[in-house]
Structure 1
Amino acid sequence: MDVDPPAPAEIQAIVHAGVPLAAAWGIEVVAAAGGTATCRLPWQEALLRPGGTVSGPALMGLADVAMWAALLGVTGGRDESLTTSLTIHFLRRLSPGAVLAQARLLKRGRLIYGEVLIRSEGQEEIAAHVTTSWAAVTPRAAPPTR
């Protein structure tokens, strides 16, 4: 059952706490609701590979975080699901600048399927296409408060 989505800033805080590398890279959750999410990776020279394009590992990390943000948006910010696979197809080089990842859930159940489209901010052309699957994990109960 879906619940009201937390605000993007709340989801971003959850993502940064759960994946400290996302915080170190400055990944922003721009939007997350209705089984979709958009995340933004600011331009950083530390994430470049030779030739001046964003490295594959950075794009894979961005895609993974974007899918988790989409899940957090439909679970009220409580999700402990785990990535079981992530396949990325690099279609073209990214333009210099920030990168956007647009994730959408395709199917939810014990296994969760989704896709992520990655492009340069301000560009329409898709630079990478990602398919991913996750194992659904029920969040642990919150400890009782005193």
Structure 2
Amino acid sequence: MQNAVDFEKMQEMLSEASFTNLYGFKLHKLGEGECTILVPFHSGLERPGGYVAGPVYMAVADVAMWIAIATSTGYDEARMTLTLEMKTNFLTGAKHEDIYCTAKVLKAGRRAIYGVAECVSASGTLLTHHTLTYMRPSKAEIKASSAE
């Protein structure tokens, strides 16, 4: 099945979202209902002790899921989705290294979308596990947003 949104469109969605600029997220890989984002290491991501700060993992998981949703629902609908819930388990820390986060849509219902995301180090060590629930916009909300 063809992705609802192509790589270039998703890269545009990522770069236009000003809330991601501080992290330097880079789109790495897409699939139907899946997205992997690279978080290149830089000192601005560190917390005291030299480890990558927890909010970085949470932000990349949230953004990767947002884009994974777009690969299955389309750009206009995904733009309007909102995170309802996120549970994060920190398993181990990354220190001075890049991180990859892969999000997968598990179920897309009429009003809710469920998924998981995992962050790993460049060597493949599992760093975090996230479960996410998003709210899907109504057709009226999508139409109103598209008209703006």
User: TM-score range, shorter-chain basis?
Assistant: 0.7 to 0.9
SS of residue in 2 equivalent to 1:53: coil
Per-residue CA deviation, residues 48-98 of structure 1 (Å, 9 max, x unaligned), is 101111101111001000000101111232211100011110001114221
Q: CA deviation at 1:12?
A: 2.0
* AA aligned opposite 1:67: M
The residue number in structure 2 matching 1:140 is 143
Which ranges of structure 1 fall in alignment gaps of 5 or more residues? none
The residue number in structure 2 matching 1:118 is 119
Query: 8 Å contact 1:5–1:33 — kept in the other structure?
Result: no
The residue number in structure 1 matching 2:85 is 85
Which consecutive aligned stretches of 4+ in structure 1 deviate over 6 angstroms post-superposition? Answer: none
SS of residue in 2 equivalent to 1:54: coil
Q: CA deviation at 1:103?
A: 0.4
Shift in alpha-carbon separation, 1:36–1:6, aligned structure 2, 3 A: same
The residue number in structure 2 matching 1:102 is 102
Alignment RMSD (CA, Å) = 1.9
Equivalenced residues, count: 141
Which ranges of structure 2 fall in alignment gaps of 5 or more residues? none
| TM-score normalised by L of structure 1 | 0.87
* AA aligned opposite 2:128: A
Higher helix share: 2
The residue number in structure 2 matching 1:42 is 40
Matches within 5 A, 1:51-70: 51-70=49-68
2: CA distance between counterparts of 1:86 and 1:13? 25
